[in-house]
Structure 1
Amino acid sequence: MSREVLLVTGASGLLGSHIVRRAGGKFELIAAYRSHPVMFPDARCVPLDLADRKSVENLFRTAKPGLVIHTAALADVDYCEDHPDEAWAVNAEGTAYVARACRETGARLVHISTDAVFDGSRGMYAEDDEPRPINIYARTKFEAERRVRETCPESLIVRTAFYGSGLSWRKGLAQWALDRLRSGEPFPMFTDVFFSPIYVGDLVEILFESYRKGLSGIYHVGGRERCSKYEFGMALARTFALDPGNLTPGVLADVPLRAPRPKDISLDVSKITRDLGRPMPTLAEGLRRFRDDQLRM
Structure 2
Amino acid sequence: MKKLLVTGASGFLGWNLCQLAKQGWDVYGTYFSKSVEISGVTLVKADIRNFQETKRLFSKIEPTAVIHTAAQSSPNFCQTHPDESYQINVTASCDLAGLCADSAIPCAFTSTDLVFDGLNPPYRETDTVCPVNQYGEQKVMAEQGMLERYPRVAVCRMPLMFGIAESATSFIQPFIKTLREGQELNLFTDEFRTPTSGKTAASGLLLALRSVEGLIHLGGKERISRYEFGRLMADVLELPQEKLKSCRQKDVPMAAPRSADVSLDSSKAFALGYQPLSLRKELEALRGKV
**TM-score when normalising by structure 1:** 0.93
* 1:279 Cα deviation from its structure 2 partner: 4.5
Alpha-carbon distance in structure 2 between the residues aligned to 1:210 and 1:51: 25
Change over 3 Å in CA distance of 1:210–1:84 after alignment to 2: closer
Q: RMSD over aligned Cα, in angstroms?
A: 1.5
State whether residues 98 and 149 of structure 2, in contact with CA within 8 Å, keep that contact through their aligned partners in structure 1. Answer: yes
* 1:25 Cα deviation from its structure 2 partner: 4.1
State whether residues 165 and 174 of structure 1, in contact with CA within 8 Å, keep that contact through their aligned partners in structure 2. Answer: no
Alpha-carbon distance in structure 2 between the residues aligned to 1:220 and 1:173: 20
**1:67 pairs with 2:82:** no
**Matching residue of 2:250:** 253
What is the CA deviation profile of residues 171-201 of structure 1, one whole-angstrom value per residue up to 9, with x for unaligned ones?
A: 3211121111211111100000000001111
State whether residues 181 and 242 of structure 1, in contact with CA within 8 Å, keep that contact through their aligned partners in structure 2. Answer: yes
**Matching residue of 2:229:** 232
Superposed, 1:171-186 pairs within 5 Å as: 171-186=169-184
What is the CA deviation profile of residues 35-71 of structure 1, one whole-angstrom value per residue up to 9, with x for unaligned ones?
A: 1111122122112212211111111111111111100
Report the more deviating stretch, 38-47 or 192-201.
38-47
State whether residues 219 and 272 of structure 1, in contact with CA within 8 Å, keep that contact through their aligned partners in structure 2. Answer: yes
Alpha-carbon distance in structure 2 between the residues aligned to 1:262 and 1:290: 28
* 1:97 alignment partner, one of 92, 95, 105: 95
State whether residues 198 and 283 of structure 1, in contact with CA within 8 Å, keep that contact through their aligned partners in structure 2. Answer: yes
Report the more deviating stretch, 22-31 or 223-232.
22-31
Structure 1 segments of 4+ aligned residues over 4 angstroms from their partners: none
Structure 1: give runs of 5+ residues left out of the alignment.
none
**1:126 pairs with 2:129:** no
Aligned partner of residue 286 in structure 2, secondary structure: helix
**Matching residue of 2:163:** 164
State whether residues 107 and 209 of structure 2, in contact with CA within 8 Å, keep that contact through their aligned partners in structure 1. Answer: no
* 1:290 Cα deviation from its structure 2 partner: 3.1
Aligned partner of residue 137 in structure 1, secondary structure: helix
Aligned partner of residue 287 in structure 1, secondary structure: helix
Paired residue total: 289
What is the CA deviation profile of residues 185-228 of structure 1, one whole-angstrom value per residue up to 9, with x for unaligned ones?
A: 1110000000000111111122223334x222211111111000
State whether residues 25 and 42 of structure 1, in contact with CA within 8 Å, keep that contact through their aligned partners in structure 2. Answer: no
Alpha-carbon distance in structure 2 between the residues aligned to 1:165 and 1:25: 18
Q: Which amino acid aligns with 2:219?
A: G
Identity among equivalent pairs (%): 33
**Matching residue of 1:273:** 270
**Matching residue of 2:135:** 137
Structure 2: give runs of 5+ residues left out of the alignment.
none
* 2:27 alignment partner, one of 22, 26, 29: 29
* 2:284 alignment partner, one of 259, 284, 288: 288
